[in-house]
Structure 1
Amino acid sequence: MSGAVLAVDQGTSGTKALVICPERGVIGTGSAPVRPRYGAGGAVEADPEEILGSVLDAGRQALAQAAEPVAAVGLANQGETVLAWDPDTGRPLTDAIVWQDRRSETLCREIAAHEDDLKHLTGLPLDPYFAAPKMAWIRRELTREGVVTTSDAWLVHRLTGAFVTDAATAGRTQLLDLDRVDWSPAALEVFGLGGERLPAVVDAAGPVGTTTLFGGELPLTGLLVDQQAALLAQSAREPGAAKCTYGTGAFLLARTGDLPRRTASGLVSCVAWRLGGHTEYCLDGQVYTAASAVQWLTGLGVIKGASDLDAVGGAVPDAGGVTFVPALAGLAAPWWRGDLRGSLTGLGLDTTAGHLVRALCEGIAAQVVELAEAAAPDLGAPLTALRVDGGLTRSALLMQTQADLLQRPVEVSALPDVTALGVGAVARLGLDPRLALHQAAPAWNPAAVYEPRIGASEAAERRARFRAAVDALVEHA
């Protein structure tokens, strides 16, 4: 039997799969799309069967390309996406309510008096981004039948029949006691979910069941939420290091060790992973729209896609006085103003598509800088560098803009699909618990390092313009 594992990353707009051999690296890849639907009132939904189909399609493609057996499967998931389903048949009872969905805002306002208690208990601010408000919304608006869980529990059940979620994914619900790393009866009561049947909270690594849906019998030995899987693969373990993944949104995470950090910075304190019963914690900051903002510009016909960012943005030397706050699904950390919408200011008759592209890159990068600065006090030191991954890291313009505004080196991962690599590492640990974490994770090397090309004063001026635009949104909301 090969020591290779099948690592599956189930994401918002698609699923990627890798077959990873410990000696030869990635020997098979596959991908399949998922098409979220956007509707009125902040609705974002996906078809659960399409999500499952994408997992199976991508996994089978990777296995076919590898053309050799694997020893186990690992599954990463998109975190805060939820659905109701029948635990007897596995049949979905609702669509998947995607993490970007904002329809539970009213429910959050109704229980706002509990926010401080919830934040201390779970590490998370009260916001529709997290799973519990969506779960409560499903119970109120859609169905009282079956169970209501994050998407990973449903996928694992369909693959193996088990009813589990890993500790890091459970930590994205706002129902997990951050200290005990188990479901919180108090949080469940606040959301009106006290009688719910919830999945068992398990370690990221270890056998949870067996699946035959990829051909033959394969143990599922790795489970981890997507951003924490990327953090693990990025090897951002030392003080002053953090990683940011630029996907549908942008997500900055930094490890804080074996104690949770309750923070007043606006960042989220959460579980990084639990391995061998030992919990590691991290700080987490979110930008809701990154690649989804690029898709928005594409839909308007300003560019043809993300591959156009450098060519179109490179046609002008700067943003031409344009400031873009790409809060197209609200602002997340450190503001937590999901009610806000985006703004474009400083437009003139001379504004071109290139100016809009540069302003978008500045808007994404400026938000990431806010997250990095918010993390520094809790990490005990400013960031020394930022390790980055995700599809948008292919844009040299965005990465250079990030280095300029951050005033720190930006190190681009040489390995694509780091989320899948991270969950592949925990799948290996689940197969062989004698391995150390650094032995299971891939060696980390940057493909490119972007150094700042502007001085600190110019970076501060550009960030101040962005902050002023955000302040104007807040003032007029």
Structure 2
Amino acid sequence: MEIQRNGFKRESYILSVDVGTTSIRCHIFDKEAQIRGSCTTKVNLLYPEPGLVELDPEELWRGFVKVVNGAVQDSGLQMRQMETLGISTQRGTFTTWDRKTGVPFHNFISWQDLRAVELVRSWNNSCTMKAIHGVMMALHFLSKNKRFQAASLIVFSTQHVTFRLAWALRHWKQLSEAVAEGTCCFGTIDTWLLYKLTKGLVHATDYSNASATGMFDSYQLCWSEFLCCLVSLPLSILPKVLNTGHRFGSTDPSIFGVSIPIMSVMADQQAAMFGECCFDIGDVKITMGTGTFMNINTGSKPHTSVAGLYPVVGWKIGPEVVYLAEGNAADTGTAIKWAQELELFSDVRETDAMANSVANSDGVCFVPSFSGLQAPLNDPKACASFMGLKPSTTKSHLVRAILESVAFRNKQLYETMLRETHIPIRKIRADGGICTNDFVMQLTADLFGRKVARPTQHEMSCLGAAFVAGLEVGFWKSQEELKKLQRTDRVFLPRNLYRMGDGGTEGEYTPILQRWEQALKRSMNWYGNP
């Protein structure tokens, strides 16, 4: 693609920003999807009280502007060569602000935040929920409508926005006053950035982000009036929901010196799925970053789960809607960072060699549950723990136990996905910072009994948002063209000796897995005990 300005033709590029849980990064992509310039800055998480996790909205905005300017400077290109901007953001992290002034009422409340855990527990155990489940079950029996089946199985989670927003509305008087006055805007990070980039002209989100809030009806593709009414959430504060690939507006010229069309807004896991070119039913993506997120493409229909897999909109481009079923483990990267801060190792790259330096974990099991346990266990009160420590236990044993726990959670999610969806798996691709660890990747492939591919680029959310934006402006012509740009660093093949019943390592891992599952059970409901 070329942009013509003042009679001169200039090569054009795609600008893409990913706002993650721990960092904000910007990449500039050329026609071959190669990175021409990059810039990264840290996201500073705030912990005002135990269990509370927040981000400063203005600091996040400054970080966004910083990485865009830094990436363009790093590339040696000019801002006017940026044909379009794509945005990928962490999901379920939200704030509210004054519609007139644009000033936030409070910090972003992170998806990891547990302030609403008691509210969630009380709702899940309430007579109201039992009555709703019963009525929906009956309606499903009579109509066979999957929407009623989904409603009969719904279990609320702190990771969804619903009850953290309900908590905020109950506890902060200024919010309820702003709602009454019609001056309150709600938004996840993408909505906040669109609002800032357009100087308040756009209050919107896309289907992928909306579907991950817990307040969205993925079957009807609209905000759920029933749920919002049930939990007393005002529909008036919610943003407009638009296609994932769409002209959301343009950046105000005062921000970057030129006006850049914003052509994609996408939730990070869905963006990673798109970046991995998992366009077909049965394609699986595993992102191992701050948390592990496993997604399977379920096609044009949302999946109804009984074990906690969540149906999300992958993307909506034109009339086409692609759905994903998702399971997650919240504390993958968190556990690695915690171990590093304890000085179990100095460099994350050491962990692979440390894990392979010992034959096993010496009976040690690690439960990665700093933020509770998600599907298929779904216990927000579970605690993180080491079990089976001995005088003979070394740092290498501890590190191996931590890395094994990542692969074991992967196996749990994968088996849940197979059992629930009954969709034949076409391919499995992994990304995120933890996928650089060969031990985790190989053990995951062994436990799956399937090959797992690792891309050359590990941060796929940026690439996914860039792909969608590029398709919208004709920078790339089709999804088939994108597949040709996909690059694989290594394919991890399951080792034959891991197959069950041949006397190999799978047999050796069976008691280790069983012991680890016992450790999980002992860690559950820990914070519910006196």
Normalised by the size of structure 1, how large is the TM-score? Answer: 0.94
Q: Which residue of 2 aligns with 1:61?
A: 70
Following superposition, the deviation at residue 404 of structure 1 comes to 2.5
Residue from 181, 187, 191 that aligns with 2:221: 181
1:124-174 per-residue CA deviation (whole Å, 9 max, x = no partner) reads 630110111111112122341322221211111001131100001000111
Is the 1:422–1:441 Cα contact (8 Å) retained in structure 2? no
Structure 2: how far apart are the matches of 1:263 and 1:83? 29
In the superposition, relative to structure 1, how do residues 353 and 191 fare at CA in structure 2: closer, same or farther (>3 Å)?
same
1:311-330 per-residue CA deviation (whole Å, 9 max, x = no partner) reads 33233222111011111111
Q: Does 1:307 align with 2:316?
A: no
Instruction: Identify which range, 149-158 or 124-133, moves more after superposition.
Output: 124-133
- Percent identical residues: 27
1:366-395 per-residue CA deviation (whole Å, 9 max, x = no partner) reads 111111111113442454653100111111
The 5 Å alignment of 1:113-262 reads 113-114=128-129, 116=133, 120-121=150-151, 125-142=155-172, 143-144=174-175, 145=178, 146-160=184-198, 161-211=201-251, 212=253, 213-262=255-304
Task: Give secondary structure in 1 for the equivalent of 2:163.
Answer: helix
Q: Which residue of 2 aligns with 1:363?
A: 405
Structure 2: how far apart are the matches of 1:283 and 1:345? 32
What is the aligned-residue RMSD (CA, Å)?
A: 2.2
Residue from 442, 448, 458 that aligns with 1:406: 448
Structure 1 residue runs of 4 or more that deviate by more than 4 Å after TM superposition: 115-119, 121-124
Q: Does 1:100 align with 2:124?
A: no
1:199 is matched by which residue type in structure 2?
Answer: P
Q: Which residue of 1 aligns with 2:39?
A: 30
Structure 2: how far apart are the matches of 1:311 and 1:297? 15
Following superposition, the deviation at residue 458 of structure 1 comes to 3.1
In the superposition, relative to structure 1, how do residues 178 and 119 fare at CA in structure 2: closer, same or farther (>3 Å)?
farther
Q: Does 1:450 align with 2:492?
A: yes
Q: How many residues align?
A: 477
Structure 2: how far apart are the matches of 1:12 and 1:440? 27
Task: Give secondary structure in 2 for the equivalent of 1:469.
Answer: helix
Is the 1:153–1:164 Cα contact (8 Å) retained in structure 2? yes
1:155-205 per-residue CA deviation (whole Å, 9 max, x = no partner) reads 110011311000010001111111111111111112211353211000001
1:269 is matched by which residue type in structure 2?
Answer: P
Structure 2: how far apart are the matches of 1:122 and 1:92? 36
1:195-219 per-residue CA deviation (whole Å, 9 max, x = no partner) reads 5321100000111111032331101
2:92 is matched by which residue type in structure 1?
Answer: E
Q: Which residue of 2 aligns with 1:462?
A: 512
Instruction: Identify which range, 92-101 or 132-141, moves more after superposition.
Output: 132-141
2:324 is matched by which residue type in structure 1?
Answer: C
Instruction: Identify which range, 229-238 or 250-259, moves more after superposition.
Output: 229-238
1:148 is matched by which residue type in structure 2?
Answer: F
Structure 2: how far apart are the matches of 1:443 and 1:433? 13
Is the 1:426–1:440 Cα contact (8 Å) retained in structure 2? no
Q: Does 1:46 align with 2:55?
A: yes
1:463 is matched by which residue type in structure 2?
Answer: L
Is the 1:122–1:175 Cα contact (8 Å) retained in structure 2? no
Q: Which residue of 2 aligns with 1:18?
A: 27
In the superposition, relative to structure 1, how do residues 156 and 111 fare at CA in structure 2: closer, same or farther (>3 Å)?
same
Structure 1: how far apart are the matches of 2:262 and 2:442? 40
The 5 Å alignment of 1:368-387 reads 368-381=410-423, 383=425, 385-387=427-429
Normalised by the size of structure 2, how large is the TM-score? Answer: 0.85
Instruction: Identify which range, 374-383 or 343-352, moves more after superposition.
Output: 374-383
1:474 is matched by which residue type in structure 2?
Answer: M
The 5 Å alignment of 1:423-434 reads 423-432=465-474
Structure 1: how far apart are the matches of 2:52 and 2:350? 28
Following superposition, the deviation at residue 354 of structure 1 comes to 0.6
Following superposition, the deviation at residue 122 of structure 1 comes to 11
Structure 2: how far apart are the matches of 1:450 and 1:365? 13
Structure 1: how far apart are the matches of 2:469 and 2:310? 26
Structure 1: how far apart are the matches of 2:62 and 2:355? 37
Task: Give secondary structure in 1 for the equivalent of 2:295.
Answer: strand
Q: Does 1:80 align with 2:92?
A: yes
2:274 is matched by which residue type in structure 1?
Answer: L
Is the 1:285–1:333 Cα contact (8 Å) retained in structure 2? yes
Following superposition, the deviation at residue 332 of structure 1 comes to 0.9
In the superposition, relative to structure 1, how do residues 221 and 238 fare at CA in structure 2: closer, same or farther (>3 Å)?
closer
In the superposition, relative to structure 1, how do residues 462 and 452 fare at CA in structure 2: closer, same or farther (>3 Å)?
farther
Is the 2:225–2:235 Cα contact (8 Å) retained in structure 1? no
| Unpaired runs of at least 5, structure 1 | none
Q: Which residue of 1 aligns with 2:144?
A: none
1:101 is matched by which residue type in structure 2?
Answer: D
2:35 is matched by which residue type in structure 1?
Answer: V
Is the 2:452–2:493 Cα contact (8 Å) retained in structure 1? yes
Task: Give secondary structure in 2 for the equivalent of 1:38.
Answer: coil
In the superposition, relative to structure 1, how do residues 245 and 124 fare at CA in structure 2: closer, same or farther (>3 Å)?
farther
If each structure's helix is expressed as a fraction of its own residues, which one has the higher value?
2
Following superposition, the deviation at residue 416 of structure 1 comes to 2.8
Q: Which residue of 1 aligns with 2:6?
A: none
Is the 1:111–1:190 Cα contact (8 Å) retained in structure 2? no
Following superposition, the deviation at residue 441 of structure 1 comes to 6.2
1:371 is matched by which residue type in structure 2?
Answer: L
| Unpaired runs of at least 5, structure 2 | 4-10, 137-147, 179-183, 501-506
Q: Which residue of 2 aligns with 1:327?
A: 369
2:385 is matched by which residue type in structure 1?
Answer: S
Structure 2: how far apart are the matches of 1:399 and 1:464? 21
Structure 2: how far apart are the matches of 1:450 and 1:105? 39
Task: Give secondary structure in 1 for the equivalent of 2:247.
Answer: strand
1:333-378 per-residue CA deviation (whole Å, 9 max, x = no partner) reads 1111111111211100011111111101111111111111111134
In the superposition, relative to structure 1, how do residues 197 and 313 fare at CA in structure 2: closer, same or farther (>3 Å)?
same
Following superposition, the deviation at residue 6 of structure 1 comes to 0.3
In the superposition, relative to structure 1, how do residues 309 and 433 fare at CA in structure 2: closer, same or farther (>3 Å)?
closer
Residue from 514, 520, 524 that aligns with 1:474: 524
